[in-house]
Structure 1
Amino acid sequence: MLCFRVARNGRHLATAGVPDFGVLSSILTWVRRPDDESNAHPELTLHVGGSVGRQYREHLTWCDVPIHAGDVLTLEVREDLEAEAPKERRVDAEAGLDEVGRLLARKKHLEEWLAEVNEALRECGAA
């Protein structure tokens, strides 16, 4: 099995891997927005995760950690290691549904979101 072995400043963070078919990713993200606290304190995070299962509906997370300027990140791609169990597993709400079921679930989600938007507009006096 192909694995990602990830370390920060020489300290082991995770050995991630998925058997057979799936997705494995390591994402370093920096975010700074003009209109919130990230303006003064940009967000810097490392996420190691993936997904498995029919149509990749089970999402896995091995680590999701803050990173700081000066940190040294190491990512080794190895085939001679065994993956650790992920720290988090989440099954997609649409897993196991057929096309009609997925569309109905999305419709429900959008209706709930629209109700929240309408309420926020009422609170602002815009609706």
Structure 2
Amino acid sequence: MLCFRALRNGRHLTTAGVPDFGVLSTILTWVRRPHDESTACPELTLHVGGSVGREHREHLTWCYVNNIRAGDVLTVEVREYLEADPPRERRVDAEVGLDEVARLHLRRKGLEAQLADVNAELWERGAA
């Protein structure tokens, strides 16, 4: 099995791997927004995750670190034949096991909720 071994300043964070078929990712993200608290202190996060299952419907998280600092050394080793740590979080999509009509109903429900939020915001701004 191919694994990602993540380290921060030489200290082991996690070893992530999926058997057979799936997705494995390591994402380092920097965010600085103009109009909120991240202006003074940008967000710097590391996420090690992936997905497995038919159509990749089960999402896995091995590591989420939100206190990365300038000067930290982040290392990702791509290794073969390591044993992966168990994921800290597993989440299955709500659509798993649904037929196409049920999926469309679920999607419609989500879109109706988004539309209600947009209408409420327009009303608050006097633009409804």
Query: Which TM bucket (shorter chain)?
Result: over 0.9
Q: SS at 2:50's partner residue? A: strand
Say if 2:92 is the partner of 1:91: yes
Whole-Å Cα distance in 1 between the matches of residues 127 and 102 of structure 2?
Answer: 34
Structure 2: segments with no counterpart, 5+ residues = none
Whole-Å Cα distance in 1 between the matches of residues 41 and 28 of structure 2?
Answer: 16
* Structure 1 residue 101 displacement after superposition: 2.1
* Structure 1 residue 125 displacement after superposition: 2.2
Letter in 1 for 2:108: K
Whole-Å Cα distance in 2 between the matches of residues 97 and 69 of structure 1?
Answer: 45
Give 2:74's aligned residue: 73
Whole-Å Cα distance in 2 between the matches of residues 98 and 31 of structure 1?
Answer: 38
The 5 A counterparts of 1:99-118 are: 99-118=100-119
Say if 2:42 is the partner of 1:42: yes
Greater displacement, 19-28 / 93-102: 93-102
C-alpha distance after superposition, 1:61-86 (max 9, x if no partner): 00110211100011111112100100
* Structure 1 residue 95 displacement after superposition: 1.4
TM-score (norm 2): 0.94
Whole-Å Cα distance in 2 between the matches of residues 2 and 97 of structure 1?
Answer: 31
Whole-Å Cα distance in 2 between the matches of residues 37 and 102 of structure 1?
Answer: 38
The 5 A counterparts of 1:24-43 are: 24-43=24-43
Q: SS at 1:112's partner residue? A: helix
Give 1:122's aligned residue: 123
Q: SS at 1:35's partner residue? A: coil
Identity of aligned residues (%): 76
Structure 1: segments with no counterpart, 5+ residues = none
Give 2:20's aligned residue: 20
Q: SS at 1:60's partner residue? A: strand
Letter in 2 for 1:45: T
Q: SS at 1:20's partner residue? A: coil
TM-score (norm 1): 0.94
Whole-Å Cα distance in 2 between the matches of residues 80 and 18 of structure 1?
Answer: 11
Q: SS at 1:89's partner residue? A: strand
